[in-house]
Structure 1
């Protein structure tokens, strides 16, 4: 076994050393290798990143003090990324693999009880003018906070609105287009038809299909370096930039309690199916080091209470309700940033039995090399109506090659 590992290691070393003789290594944060075929018919950028996280939690006791302390340290994310073009620059691809336990969790009978290594595996074809056709597994055009890479977040992690309502990744096709309404006013349209079961499902399509439509308005033109999908105003926009986005998603005959995510709703004849609709209204504003992001989410279902064939309830319910997330930050000298977040979740208590939640988060970040090398920390207070309030502290280190 050791000899096989040694042999594989030598082969990998020889492979990459052969390319390093022909090309210079990219600068920090631009990938490990940028490979281009001798006939220029293909390219591949290879990159890796990891996030190391420490978390501490406390509950609020009856007398107002903190009780039941818990702590955890973990490799939150560890990723390998490959992207480039094949045959022509108009045909691009992206492959992203997750290696941490959190990245690959979720084994079930629907993915052959195997780890879910693949995050993205998608090809993108610019087949005509401003039209692109995507095919494969990747993020659906949902809420802005979810589409922002986990490595480009303003705070340690995404909000409760995202964890409750996002529509994440799925397998399917997407059609994307953009045009200018005027010299500066940019409009982007995104349509998707997907399987509706989430990522890495291999054992058939259990329910119907998922349909997603999103439109984005940028009245003041493009952000620098795609800053509308990156946390913080690291480029310090010299002119105000704004993006407003609207998404509507309908998952027909869904069998999971959070659209294409969450638990499977099993009943006496197999699976309970119901149509789940999700609406997002979100926006990003940046100017001179100041950034503001806002999101509103609403989810409903045709019949949110899962039932057996005789009408009796199974105990499963669709997570329907509303969420609001507001987040702002200001970039100080030497790329220190102070940020704040307000999040409110109101699931339908009559259906889910959940109490309304409000979370307040204060964050501090030091960007050493932008998002590619940074240290972030935040503290959050979660207020639960008729429940137990909680305090959470987090510290995270990010490094991207």
Structure 2
């Protein structure tokens, strides 16, 4: 009996190994791990994965004492699975992206049913008439260009301080997108209505809704391979390409201190609500390996200081103010790139109590297979007005995208 069991077990494992043995696929590196289309062309799916391994070293610099302290860490900055394709008709596309790293899923609260926030994108895109497309679900809002660029396609290790202070990130709702041409000029229009509290929210809407509009003008025509939403000029545009964009975001009765991001502002009756307005103006230019990206952000609020029902201040404030970010880079023919960035954040000191922050960054990247496989490193120096302390940060990151 034992011999029979052993034979059956051996046969089972032999079949299993044979069934799951190495299989040759027609897909190429960076084009997805799996790509399939139904025989009747009723649906398709492409599956991809990516991760970023990051090292960070940080030191505090004091005018009197020099280097006073330092820290370092390794982490998986991002680890994600992405599924996209079409359902029923090529005019109805979908995208599902899941985050697996701690940074990707952090933010669990009572408003997300105390659950990790695995879902990044879950959106349907219906091209229902000519150049009109309706997006429904959870995805990035049409905010500043740096935010909409995928974290897999960044020119430096990570996004700027302007993005972390002012971006409107992802939310759940609907977007209507349209584009047209006037001669060589490409014009895109986007309007969006969303819940206004960020991604993966399961509670009732606690404030009002968020309304976003964006206009983009490409005076010299389209970039190669959507290069206006990718860091660096990896396609080496043969002719100058320029994209000019502007976004206005109105958040009715926001309950978070950074529009739909940041912390909830609570008071004695539940939540403090105030209208928040965010403006973005940005530009992207590329030509023969040279790239330039510039952004300006401005945020105001009807009443930025959170209060209780009796008028006393709660201690919460809306992060109102403005920011400027500019970065330039040059890609050599051997696929090494050097880039530099200047960022300045000027929050309203009377409201936030924060001084002007200025950060200078210099980075070097080696693209082994475009943005799909690259090594990036940068050094940043941060100063704060009226402070003797400044910060020095070094980062090294490997990005792999199957």
TM-score range relative to shorter protein: over 0.9
Q: Quick check: 1:121 aligned with 2:109?
A: no
1:29, 1:386 → 2: CA distance? 47
Cα offsets for 1:87-107 (capped at 9, x unmatched): 110000000000000000000
The question of whether the paired residues in 2 share the 8 Å contact of 1:54 and 1:71 is answered with yes
1:175, 1:90 → 2: CA distance? 15
Cα offsets for 1:57-91 (capped at 9, x unmatched): 00112426222101111000000000000011000
Identify the residue that residue 3 of structure 1 maps to in structure 2.
Answer: none
In the superposition, the TM-score normalised over structure 2's length comes to: 0.94
Aligned pair count reads 386
Give the structure with higher Rg (CA): 2
Q: Quick check: 1:227 aligned with 2:227?
A: yes
2:140, 2:111 → 1: CA distance? 20
1:378, 1:156 → 2: CA distance? 7
Which residues in structure 2 correspond to 1:98-113 (within 5 Å)? 98-113=99-114
Q: Quick check: 1:46 aligned with 2:41?
A: no
Structure 1 runs, 4 residues or longer, greater than 3 Å off: none
1:204, 1:146 → 2: CA distance? 27
Task: Give SS of 2:165's match.
Answer: helix
Q: Unaligned stretches of 5+ in structure 2?
A: 1-12
1:353, 1:228 → 2: CA distance? 36
Identify the residue that residue 167 of structure 1 maps to in structure 2.
Answer: 168
How far is 1:25 from its partner? 3.6
Q: Quick check: 1:133 aligned with 2:142?
A: no
Which residues in structure 2 correspond to 1:281-320 (within 5 Å)? 281-320=281-320
2:160, 2:193 → 1: CA distance? 26
1:306, 1:102 → 2: CA distance? 28
How far is 1:17 from its partner? 6.0
Identify the residue that residue 366 of structure 1 maps to in structure 2.
Answer: 366
Identify the residue that residue 7 of structure 1 maps to in structure 2.
Answer: none
Identify the residue that residue 207 of structure 2 maps to in structure 1.
Answer: 207
Task: Give SS of 1:227's match.
Answer: helix
In the superposition, the TM-score normalised over structure 1's length comes to: 0.94
2:196, 2:25 → 1: CA distance? 43
The question of whether the paired residues in 2 share the 8 Å contact of 1:25 and 1:32 is answered with no
Identify the residue that residue 156 of structure 2 maps to in structure 1.
Answer: 155
The question of whether the paired residues in 2 share the 8 Å contact of 1:25 and 1:34 is answered with no
1:268, 1:386 → 2: CA distance? 35
Identify the residue that residue 27 of structure 1 maps to in structure 2.
Answer: 28
Q: Unaligned stretches of 5+ in structure 1?
A: 1-9
2:70, 2:81 → 1: CA distance? 34
The question of whether the paired residues in 2 share the 8 Å contact of 1:25 and 1:33 is answered with no
1:43, 1:338 → 2: CA distance? 39
Task: Give SS of 1:326's match.
Answer: strand
2:152, 2:130 → 1: CA distance? 31
Task: Give SS of 2:104's match.
Answer: helix
Change (3 A) 1:278 1:235: same
